[in-house]
Chains A and B, each alone.
Chain A
Amino acid sequence: MKTFTRLLAFLSPLRWRIALAILLGSVMLVSSISLFGMAAYLIAAAALGPLLVLLSIPIYLVQTMGIVRATSRYVERLVSHNTTLRLLAHLRVWAYKRIEPQAPAHLLVHRSGDLLARLVADIEDLQNVYLRVVSPMVVALVISLFTFGIFSIFSPELAWVALAFLATAGLGVPCLSAWLSRGLGKQQVAARAALNTQVVDGLQGIQDVLAFGRSQAQLEGLAACDCALGRVQRRMATITGLQSALGDLLMNTAMWVLIILAIPMVATRYIDGVYLGVIGLLILASFEAVQPLAPAFQGLGHSLTAAERVFAVTDAPPPVVESDTPQPVQVNPGGYTLSFEQVHFTYLPGEREVLSDISFELRQGLRVAIVGPSGAGKSTLVRLALRFRDPTSGIICLNGQDIRPYNLRELRELVGVVAQDTYIFNDTLRANLLLARPQAGEAEIEAAVEQAQLTEFVRQLPQGLKTRVGELGLQMSGGERQRLAIARAFLKNAPILILDEATANLDALTERALLDALDELTLGRTTLHITHRLLGMERMHEILVLERGSIVERGTHEELLAVEGLYRQLFDVQQGVLTLS
């Protein structure tokens, strides 16, 4: 219920449009109810053989109600789609505002692809709250009351009976089918997920499946999953079938009961016999308002689950809160020194420390490397340096001052990052570059492209920098993506540079080719080089070897090699790899 109220709150800025759509929806139903009622009256009255003139009003109404209904329906669809699209825009901006401070949260970092796509789909699902839930419910209520009013003209008894049937069909049937199918939705989701896992397993592991002669077992596994899904779906089909059958039965039974009740009234002249057919047709036509409620209830369940998932993400407190009175970062012509002082960090209270007792100084103009096996805490360290997270204890300083009081944006402006998974937006190459500095001129862009050694690549493209890239456009290779990231860093021209596994996903040859461009980028910049690939280490002023969150060795390349410790081991493993693939 709380979730539903929260969802309704999103509708309030659009309330007038929604009211208009509901009004139009009601007009549409009233017109078709009138059409059928009038048609029945027309025929019955004509059977009594009056003058044609007396029938001119019913004839006129019967002829025009079609156009009223078609028009009001048309306008209603336009208005409600307009409203839905507006709602969606609101929802997106709202969700973005809430999620933006959390990035890079756990959800957005760890195997994020699917989860994020799910979140985006969930936000989209919320628009249905209006179109499929609120609007049909209100329209059904309006029409039920309208029907009640019409029947009251004949007799209050008939009116109450009609209302009772409408309420049973509109509330009782959906509730019954929701009760019958309780848990089935979840079962279906689970069955589908199991099926999907089976298929993905079979296809991704196809080499192993075939090599070990397991095709038959895979097929049997799929058949079993399919069978389980089929069982759930058959039960759901039985219930949805029951639901529509009950709706139909209630509609016709309502007509049947009303006719039975009306017959004695006709006999006693309480009701004119002319209206007997009208009564039957009116109730049949008014059921059009309550029939969509059963799917609406299902839609509501869906939207509520989606909303809960969305709220779970948006309600999470942001990991970092900017100071209420952010201080501007002092411009320091002498450069910037970033230092970690006894920094400890855990993601969740009670969990193992991801970083423990990290102290080092990245002095102006120097290059420091942080190396270590995967999972040592290197990426967490970068997150702390960018203040995406705050240390659990200890402080991070800029020129000796704690970074927490500073304006976040200005702080991040000082740091350029080349990360391993450079994100490329579905936009032009130019737009992807300009991200780094929107006000950059043509010459600056070209210089950055040149420095990142992308000129040749851009020249080959038919539309040059205007070529669209990313998922929906040109696919760039790993090396090209990293060059784009380097070009961005050149454009941003920040005094501090963080290279976060900048070449991690590249093959050895590409990596080698990229190193020149990276070297040029680090020239004259204070650089923090995070890597598990020990290349160019002899040029580092200091190397910190990280293992399980602690600095286990530190020194220069020569010093560390001489120690015969973890660094030495890592170095040897790497040297054993043929650099030809």
Chain B
Amino acid sequence: MLALTIVLGMLGAIATIAQIALLSEIVNAVFLLHRGLAQVLVPLALLMGALTLRASLLWGREVTAQRAAIRLKSSLRERVFAHLLQLGPAWSSGERTGELAAVISEGIERLDAYIGRYLPQLVLSVVVPLLIIVVILPVDWFSAVLLLFTGPVIPLLMALVGSNTSKRTRAQWATLSLMSAHFLDVMQGLTTLKVFGRSQAQQERIALISDRFRDKTLQVLRYAFLSGAVLEFMTLTAIGVIATMLGVRLLNNGISFDSAFFILLLTPEFYRPLQELGVQRHAAMEGAASAKRIFEILETPLATGVEPVVEESFPTGPITIDISALSYTYPRKEQPALDGVSLQLAANTCTALVGRSGAGKSTLVNLLMRFMDATSGTIRANGVPITALSPHRWREYVALVPQRPYLFYGTVRENIRLARPEASDDEITHAATLAGVTALIDELPRGFDTQVGEQGMQLSAGQAQRVAIARAILKNTPILILDEPTSCLDPDSEARIRQSLTSLMRDRTVLVIAHRYNTIALADRIVVLEDGRIIEADTRDALTLSAHARLLGAVSTSEVSEGSIERHTAPHSSAYASAD
């Protein structure tokens, strides 16, 4: 496609040359040979043809260039997105998602000027001037040589002045963006300013800072614009010199009028592609920065190992997971996040995992989900290493309810159906009932068809988690991994989530990252993780509250002596245990 753009560009140049040749022929015929209109009808008709052709080629060039850019952007965008999905949540977590999303949607758009204009222009700026020289050479070798020598001066000058000013220009854009950053900063902090009675003083500050930035920017621009001015002066002076020399040689009968006029008209065409290159280069700069970031992402190696050759599968039924000597160290980190963890999650039991933030809980979940593969150690499911399956296949056995489940932009129904696209509406309603989310859905303006997510209704953390539990129920897998919300929920969500969990946990191998006494009370086994190691793992009854309370320093000892955790059904029997 881009090659076509270049070809069309060259054909356009040829049409231009033809147009100029015809024009000089006509002018020569009328002016010197005193021909009438009737005698120049043929070249006039040809001229009309040439200029129509030239305009059509210009159109074609623009369209093909843009189409090439669109196609390239699409394929690049899909490649980057696919790669990011493969890199998984461990790589693209948290605040990074904003930047990455911007790269994929806006960053790639910025390649437009680079692909569609700069690249073809790069070729044309060499080919078209050469073509013009080749055309002029038989007509007048003297002018051809003159152009041949002045032409390269422009890119040379551009490179020379450009490298100097581009630094300055970049600095200028940096100051400009700093200036708007300041304004945005003030606007964002407006409420804070008002509370402190400082908002009106800011008004003068905005004016003052704008003035200061203006002075600085203009100082820089004085130099930055100079290169453009020198360039322009050079080309126009060259045209002037060529015109003068042609005139002088005409006087001395050194050249014919039609040749001289032809060359005069062609001279600006010779410099034009070079000047355009300068303009396009400027626009392409922005794209170059985006391109760099895009290739950085594409070159990031994947965190999961190679795909297995033979796909193993397990018989349907309960699954026991054996974790042995599992370690993981994040790239560019020295301290392992998980350090030789061995643990069995027996079939159809519930294990509660507790630990401070940063203890390695999420790392363990990421490894169990195969969002990344362990540095050493293995995870086996019914004796088969999970790396024997493709990550995609393995995940079919696992349901995950994350701490902050994500609701996609779409209806509630679509969000639940995500777990099993072929599920019927009845099955979805059933899953929602089991998750205790029907009452909530009924309250929504359009029930199951209410749009949620980024641009739809905002559900609270507790509500989102209940939808996620419905998802997990619908998926109906032998293994369930659940990350409890840490924050306080409203009393209603709290009670309902407990109910839904109880039904979800039945007949599954469950690992729950617990933040609540009541959840721990539901578990068969409690595992305490600290600094990437398991420091206590025992059945619920044996591991008393006092043991891990001392560890975690969260509960005062006087309260602890009251006894161990019991399986509570009353809503607040352990409530006072942690009161200060």
| Closest residue on chain A to residue B207 by CB atoms | A93
| In the complex, chain B residues whose CB is within 8 Å of the CB of A117 | 184
Nearest chain A CB to B202's CB is how many angstroms away?
7
Instruction: Check A248/B206 contact, CB under 8 A, given A234-B70, A577-B486, A580-B356.
Output: no
- Partner of B62 from the list A46, A89, A241, A507 (CB cut-off 8 Å) is A241
| In the complex, chain B residues whose CB is within 8 Å of the CB of A263 | 30, 36-37, 40
| In the complex, chain A residues whose CB is within 8 Å of the CB of B494 | 573, 576
Docked complex Cα distance between A66 and B371 (Å): 64
Docked complex Cα distance between A497 and B128 (Å): 74
Interface set, chain B 382-441, CB cutoff 8 A to A: 391-392, 395-396, 398-400, 402, 405-409, 418-419, 421
| In the complex, chain A residues whose CB is within 8 Å of the CB of B71 | 230
Q: Are A580 and B88 in contact (CB under 8 A)?
A: no
Nearest chain B CB to A292's CB is how many angstroms away?
13
Docked complex Cα distance between A238 and B60 (Å): 9
Instruction: Check A92/B244 contact, CB under 8 A, given A73-B229, A85-B214, A211-B400.
Output: no
Q: Which of B77-85, B158-166, B326-334 contacts A (4 or more CB under 8 A)?
A: B77-85
| Closest residue on chain B to residue A51 by CB atoms | B251
Instruction: Check A78/B356 contact, CB under 8 A, given A426-B181, A438-B198.
Output: no
Q: Which of A18-26, A128-136, A201-209 contacts B (4 or more CB under 8 A)?
A: A201-209
Most chain A CB inside 10 Å of its own CB: which residue of B105, B225, B251, B264: B105
| In the complex, chain B residues whose CB is within 8 Å of the CB of A211 | 369, 395, 398-400, 402
Q: Are A426 and B31 in contact (CB under 8 A)?
A: no
Does B133 count as interface, using CB distance less than 8 angstroms? no
Docked complex Cα distance between A359 and B338 (Å): 55
Q: Are B84 and A59 in contact (CB under 8 A)?
A: no
Q: Are A100 and B203 in contact (CB under 8 A)?
A: yes
Instruction: Check A65/B250 contact, CB under 8 A, given A99-B190, A253-B51.
Output: no
Q: Are A85 and B217 in contact (CB under 8 A)?
A: yes
| In the complex, chain B residues whose CB is within 8 Å of the CB of A85 | 210, 213-214, 217-218
Interface set, chain B 413-472, CB cutoff 8 A to A: 418-419, 421, 453-455, 460, 468, 471
- Partner of B515 from the list A195, A212, A578 (CB cut-off 8 Å) is A578
Interface set, chain B 84-141, CB cutoff 8 A to A: 84-86, 88-89, 92, 97, 100-101, 104-106, 109
Docked complex Cα distance between A579 and B516 (Å): 9
Instruction: Check A96/B184 contact, CB under 8 A, given A39-B239, A63-B237.
Output: no
Docked complex Cα distance between A200 and B491 (Å): 31
Does B346 count as interface, using CB distance less than 8 angstroms? no
Q: Are A386 and B195 in contact (CB under 8 A)?
A: yes
Chain A interface residue count: which class?
Answer: 35 or more
Instruction: Check A103/B190 contact, CB under 8 A, given A85-B214, A260-B44.
Output: yes
**B169-204, CB under 8 A of A: which get 1 and which 0?**
000000000101111111111111111111111110
- Partner of A71 from the list B196, B206, B229 (CB cut-off 8 Å) is B229
Does B221 count as interface, using CB distance less than 8 angstroms? yes
Chain B interface residue count: which class?
Answer: 35 or more
Does B514 count as interface, using CB distance less than 8 angstroms? yes
Instruction: Check A210/B190 contact, CB under 8 A, given A252-B19, A425-B185, A578-B516.
Output: no
| In the complex, chain A residues whose CB is within 8 Å of the CB of B268 | 36
Does A3 count as interface, using CB distance less than 8 angstroms? no
Does A82 count as interface, using CB distance less than 8 angstroms? yes
Does A334 count as interface, using CB distance less than 8 angstroms? no
Does A17 count as interface, using CB distance less than 8 angstroms? no
Docked complex Cα distance between A284 and B288 (Å): 35
Instruction: Check A97/B19 contact, CB under 8 A, given A208-B400, A245-B56.
Output: no
Does A5 count as interface, using CB distance less than 8 angstroms? no
Q: Are B237 and A100 in contact (CB under 8 A)?
A: no
| In the complex, chain B residues whose CB is within 8 Å of the CB of A69 | 232, 236
Docked complex Cα distance between A416 and B372 (Å): 48
Nearest chain A CB to B115's CB is how many angstroms away?
12
Does A43 count as interface, using CB distance less than 8 angstroms? yes
- 29 pairs of residues in contact across A and B, judged by CB atoms under 8 Å: A40-B264, A43-B250, A47-B31, A47-B250, A49-B251, A63-B240, A70-B229, A70-B236, A73-B232, A74-B229, A77-B228, A99-B190, A124-B180, A199-B101, A199-B104, A201-B406, A201-B454, A208-B402, A210-B395, A215-B82, A241-B60, A246-B55, A259-B44, A436-B196, A488-B196, A508-B554, A532-B488, A578-B516, A578-B552
Given contacts A85-B213, A226-B73, A273-B30, 9 further A-B contacts (CB under 8 A): A88-B210, A201-B408, A245-B62, A260-B37, A263-B40, A280-B27, A415-B195, A423-B191, A581-B356
Ranked 10 nearest A-B pairs via Cβ: A66-B236, A237-B66, A205-B406, A241-B62, A89-B210, A245-B59, A572-B572, A70-B233, A249-B55, A46-B250
